[in-house]
Amino acid sequence: MSSHYQKAYFLLSVAEVQQLPPDQGVEVAIVGRSNAGKSSVLNKITHKGLARVSKTPGRTQLINIFVLDEQRRLADLPGYGFAKAPAAAKAKWQKTIDLYIRQRESLKGLLLVMDIRHPLKTLDRHLLDYCEHRQLPVHILLNKADKLSKTGVLKTLQEVKKELAIYENEITLQSFSALKGDGVKELHLFLNKWYEY
């Protein structure tokens, strides 16, 4: 059922992990390179207009917390890999994400959003290495699938899957289009498991 997700509402934005809401229940975080479509994915799985979608990459600099119910949250994390970001901002991102993943006990797993045309970039791999180290489950969305043919989508899914075989933590993947809505049902079903709906 997608109704759980349609009820989502924005709670707050924080710059520091210390400002996050109480660490209880289940939290799922959306991560990925700047411009991969994190905010668009969030809108698609909840409702339109929840997260701001920007045309300028690197807009989401804060951790935005959305609430599904008292025990379930979604966190939209700042995007990484924005070439024009100052070094200080990049360092800050790394520190924040590192702290967040390390300390957040309610964090059930990461939704890693990648542009299907540019999967597994260096920073995505760093993040996956880190998640493996911390034994954190990751569900990968190959977003913007509308930009490829059906064959192209299947081919990329296979190639990425092959590359993920080296990881020992739980990693799953699917194609997605925040534009067209392809993959939403599959993602809801997947999230239902993490949220124990």
Q: Which is nearer to Mg ion, 20 or 30 (CB)?
A: 30
Residues 145-164 that bind ligand GTP (CB under 6 A): 146-147
State yes or no: residue 175 binds Mg ion (CB under 5 A): no
CA distance 56 to 64: 18
Quote the longest CA-to-CA distance of the chain.
45
Specify whether the CB–CB gap between 63 and 31 falls below 8 A: no
For the purposes of burial, counting CB atoms within 10 Å of the CB of 61, is it exposed (0-12), middle (13-18) or buried (19 or more)?
middle
CA distance 167 to 127: 12
Specify whether the CB–CB gap between 167 and 189 falls below 8 A: no
Residues 56-75 that bind ligand GTP (CB under 6 A): 57-60
CA distance 124 to 134: 15
Specify whether the CB–CB gap between 164 and 148 falls below 8 A: no
| Torsion from C-alpha of 73, 194, 24, 68, nearest 10 degrees | 30
Tell me the number of residues near Mg ion by CB under 5 A. 3
Residue nearest to ligand GTP (CB): 79
Which part of the chain contacts ligand GTP (CB under 6 A), choosing from 17-25, 126-134, 151-159, 176-184?
A: 176-184
Considering only 53, 89, 123, 148, the residue that binds ligand GTP (CB under 6 A) is 53
State yes or no: residue 143 binds Mg ion (CB under 5 A): no
Which part of the chain contacts ligand GTP (CB under 6 A), choosing from 32-40, 64-72, 84-92, 93-101?
A: 32-40
Q: What are phi and psi of 56, to 5 degrees?
A: -95, 120
User: The dihedral of CA 63, 58, 10, 50: what is its sign?
Assistant: negative
State yes or no: residue 43 binds Mg ion (CB under 5 A): no
Tell me which of ligand GTP, Mg ion, none is bound by residue 182, counting a contact when its beta carbon lies within the kind-specific cut-off of 5 to 8 angstroms: none
State yes or no: residue 174 binds ligand GTP (CB under 6 A): no
Binding mask 76-95 for ligand GTP (x = CB under 6 A): ---x----------------
Q: Which is nearer to ligand GTP, 132 or 146 (CB)?
A: 146
State yes or no: residue 60 binds Mg ion (CB under 5 A): yes
Q: Which is nearer to ligand GTP, 25 or 89 (CB)?
A: 89
Binding site for Mg ion (CB under 5 A): 38-39, 60
